[in-house]
Amino acid sequence: MRVWRDWALVGVLVVWSIAEALLREDRTWWPVVLTVSIVVTACLLWRRTHPLAAVAVAFGTLIAFDVARILAVDATGLLSIAALLVLPYALLRWGAGREAAGGLGIILVWLAVTHVADPTAPAEVVAGYGFFLFSAALGAAIRFHASSRLREIEQVKLRQRNELARELHDTVGHHVSAIAVQAQAGRALSATNPARALATLETIEESASRTLEEMRAIVGVLRDGTEPDFAPRGGVADIARLACHDGEGPRVDVRLSGGLDGVDRPVGTALHRIAAEAVINATRHAVHATRVTVDVTAAHDQVHLRVRDDGEASPDLSSGSQ
């Protein structure tokens, strides 16, 4: 994929190459030199999608040109091919492991050939190798950073999915379980006590409405892609709604005492979820249970929650007392 910056870079380098070819003192071989420069520059357009091919064509062309300079052509290169420093970066940034090794081999061969074509001091030879190796190392470093960033993003997405799953279990799951229990009680009362059955239906309607709100909030997060708001919707005061005296199933009594208004919201949510889970478990699994008691007491910057039932543990579960 090429962006406008790629075309702008190539356009500037082509204009630079033409101007340098026309203004150079040695103009005998300028068409050849200009053609080589344009071929090398054009390879920059494929540095992201085909880094090894771009390196092979660009540096292969230069190797052939430098060999010709050594054997027959008396010409100097163009300064515009300094843009070649971009290719080692691209090779390590977007190329695979084998592509990077093969491309670096081609670059090192060209460096050796070009220093034969243009003999230079040892310090300049070392500097030449250093520039190209630094470009390659920079590409490798940025690729590693980008890969690490992608892994972090995937981990964040995984944590968000886990949080959504936990939110579904802790809130919607509790409401649905309560609705199921209340529906069973309402069915049992419908024949003998229609008034209580109607009250049970009203409780089911309220629970269903809250469940729907929870689901809409979670689905809204998934649709618009915003950061999920996992602010708890239940608190200490909501524990009182767990009370149930419908005559079918265990009676649930809730007692709240102490300075519960000062309880932090996260702590209150945790208490509500624990109490709801305990009540549901006792209602479902405590054998012969007639009463479930929920006591919440706040004293001395501490909150105590105790859920008890007078039933017996079912064979597949541990004791119903919590």
The conformation of residue 169, written as its DSSP 8-state character, comes to: I
Question: Rounded to an integer, what distance in angstroms lies between the CA atom of residue 95 and that of residue 267?
Answer: 51
> pLDDT per residue over 285-316, tens digit each?
777 788 889 999 888 778 889 998 888 765 54
Tell me if 82 sits within 8 A of 131, measured CB to CB: no
DSSP one-letter string for 170-184: IIIHHHHHHHHHHHH
Domains present along the chain, CATH in parentheses: 4-119 (no CATH), 235-322 (3.30.565.10)
> pLDDT per residue over 141-180, tens digit each?
999 998 888 888 888 888 877 777 776 666 676 677 777 7
Confidence of residue 89 (pLDDT cuts 50, 70, 90): very high
Question: Rounded to an integer, what distance in angstroms lies between the CA atom of residue 299 and that of residue 288?
Answer: 34
Distance, first Cα to last Cα, the chain: 61
> pLDDT per residue over 95-133, tens digit each?
888 888 999 999 999 888 888 888 878 888 888 888 888
> pLDDT per residue over 212-255, tens digit each?
777 777 666 666 555 545 444 567 788 888 887 766 678 888 99
Strand order in the sheet with 302-309: 251-258, 291-299, 302-309
Per-residue pLDDT at 185 exceeds 60: yes
Distinct helix (H) and strand (E) counts, the chain: 9, 3
